[in-house]
Amino acid sequence: MGRPGGVLGGRVALALDPGLLAELATSRPVALVSGTNGKSTTTAMLAAAVAVRSRPAWNRTGANMADGALAALLDHPDADSAVLEIDEGYLPGVIAQTRPAYVVLLNMSRDQLDRVGEVHSVVRRIRTALAASPRTTVIANAGDPLVVAAAQAAEHRIWVAPPRTWRHDGVTCLLCGGHIDPVATTWGCAECALREPSATWTVTEDGQLLGPDGYRRTLELRLPGAANLVNASFAVAAATAYGVAPDRAVDAVAGLDEIAGRYRSFPRPDGETRLLLAKNPAGWSETLAVIEASPSAVVIAVNSREADGRDPSWLWDVPFERLRGRRVMASGDRAADLAVRLAYAEVDHEVEPDPVMAARMLGGRVDVAADYTAFLGVRARLARAAAEDRTSPRADGTG
């Protein structure tokens, strides 16, 4: 049909042979990367690091359900390893089918409750799946109580400690219902033995990566923000478990400058537009930190289509107050809802439902921070415009 796709081939193959994913996964070591935020970036980083010593199949399009994972394996028949991004809601089923060598658990928080379900129920299913996969090594976030509760069910664990983790969705202990202080420096349940474990790998706010046997290296990434330092630390930890030397893994992840359009800048006649993706309160908090490091004007674009989640009430859990003093445009299908939230946050703003037009109206350097379908729409339009600019004749008559 002449159109790109990352799911259809896998969906048809699963319909013809429901056991095909399990069959293809048995012939190579598989790493599954999951969590609420950071999956695509960490998967790309880990695939780049694993490529130092093998030929990994990975779902670079971001299709992260079972059919997308199968499509990635079918598209790379000569691959001798696999690095697969998996949506947390589908992770238990994919674990059961692939019996992976590694599972990377980044974080767990609320995300599209109408599609994925309540986060504690998702984590309980992941915990059960890991308990039933005794050969799997889990590379897990020591700072997230929900991740720790799930990962403790695995027989083999490697803990990674980020400088900070969103814990506001883990204030109730998954194991006993006790209280967990979401802002404590080191967390622990007030009622049972669930505690923050000692980490094998640690990354600091300034990018110092500390590992086993005294390993120390500064992460100098082309991707912006503290969240990407954390993603890189998980990728290096997992790649080292795969057998890649830590320094070679760090070098591999440091070279990435965009992930499927995330962080990509597109030139305009009067400036440039940088694209940022955020989908839930935890992700928006990290995206706002990236925006704060730049003097740019800001377009916030929010839709509520099926892939985004229909309910936009999460807007009230995002600290948009951090945008005070900037030039801001509220945009997207839910521009009106967003404008109300920005008004209560005391953020001066204008409203333009079209994000591309909003960026043009602001002029200069603009960060467009968008949820999933808004991001995809803006990326497609800007990429198409950039391609047309490259192929159109110039004023001097040359092509």
- Residues 142, 74 share a domain: yes
How many structural domains does the chain have? 2
- Residues 299, 196 share a domain: no
- Residues 366, 235 share a domain: no
Q: What is the pLDDT of residue 117?
A: 63
**C-alpha span between 41 and 233 (Å, rounded):** 12
Q: Does residue 43 lie within any of the structural domains? A: yes
Q: What is the pLDDT of residue 3?
A: 61
What token pair was written down for 224? 């912006």
Q: What is the pLDDT of residue 6?
A: 61
- Residues 100, 236 share a domain: yes
Whether 166 and 160 have beta carbons less than 8 Å apart is answered as no
User: pLDDT tens digit string along 141-190?
Assistant: 999 999 999 999 999 999 999 998 878 888 999 999 999 998 888 999 99
For residues 182-201, average pLDDT: 93
- Residues 219, 83 share a domain: yes
Q: Is the pLDDT of residue 398 over 60?
A: no
HEC profile of the chain: CCCCCCCHHHHHHHHHCCCHHHHHHCCCCEEEEECCCCHHHHHHHHHHHHCCCCCEEECCCCCCCHHHHHHHHHHCCCCCEEEEECCCCCHHHHHHHHCCCEEEECCCCCCCCCCCCCHHHHHHHHHHHHHCCCCCEEEEECCCHHHHHHHCCCCEEEEEECCCCCCCCCCECCCCCCEECCCCCCCEECCCCCECCCCCEEECCCCEEECHHHCEEECCCCCCCHHHHHHHHHHHHHHHHHCCCHHHHHHHHHCCCCECCECCEEEECCEEEEEEECCCHHHHHHHHHHHHCCCCEEEEECCCCCCCCCCCHHHHHCCHHHHCCCCEEEECCCHHHHHHHHHHCCCCCEECCCHHHHHHHHCEEEEEEECHHHHHHHHHHHHHHHHHHHHCCCCCCCC
Structural domain ending residue among the three candidates 254, 288, 312:
254
- Residues 234, 186 share a domain: yes
Q: What is the pLDDT of residue 323?
A: 96
Structural domain ending residue among the three candidates 227, 254, 281:
254
User: pLDDT tens digit string along 299-344?
Assistant: 999 999 988 888 888 899 999 999 999 999 999 999 999 999 999 9
Q: Which CATH number characterizes residue 288's domain?
A: 3.90.190.20
- Residues 295, 179 share a domain: no
- Residues 347, 202 share a domain: no
Q: Does residue 399 lie within any of the structural domains? A: no
Phi, psi of 102 (to 5 degrees): -140, 145
Q: Does residue 54 lie within any of the structural domains? A: yes
* Confidence (pTM): 0.85
Structural domain ending residue among the three candidates 222, 254, 286:
254
Q: Does residue 218 lie within any of the structural domains? A: yes
**C-alpha span between 244 and 230 (Å, rounded):** 18
Report residue 119's pLDDT band, with 50, 70 and 90 as the boundaries: confident
Q: Look at the chain and count its residues.
A: 399
Q: Which CATH number characterizes residue 84's domain?
A: 3.40.1190.10
Q: Does residue 112 lie within any of the structural domains? A: yes
Cα→Cα distances 395→267, 268, 389, Å: 18, 17, 12
The range of the structural domain enclosing residue 232 comes to 8-254
- Residues 193, 97 share a domain: yes
Whether 174 and 122 have beta carbons less than 8 Å apart is answered as no
Q: Does residue 1 lie within any of the structural domains? A: no
Look at the alpha carbons of 356, 362, 366, 371 in this order and tell me if their dihedral is positive or negative: negative
- Residues 343, 234 share a domain: no
First-residue to last-residue Cα distance in the chain: 30
User: pLDDT tens digit string along 40-95?
Assistant: 999 999 999 999 999 999 988 777 888 888 888 888 888 999 999 999 999 999 99
- Residues 307, 379 share a domain: yes
Query: Going by C-beta distance under 8 Å and a sequence separation of 6 or more, which residues neighbour residue 77?
Result: none
Residue 241's nearest CA partner among 127, 132, 103 is 103
Q: Does residue 398 lie within any of the structural domains? A: no
For residues 258-283, average pLDDT: 89
- Residues 345, 318 share a domain: yes
**C-alpha span between 82 and 299 (Å, rounded):** 37
Look at the alpha carbons of 324, 328, 329, 331 in this order and tell me if their dihedral is positive or negative: negative
Q: Does residue 223 lie within any of the structural domains? A: yes
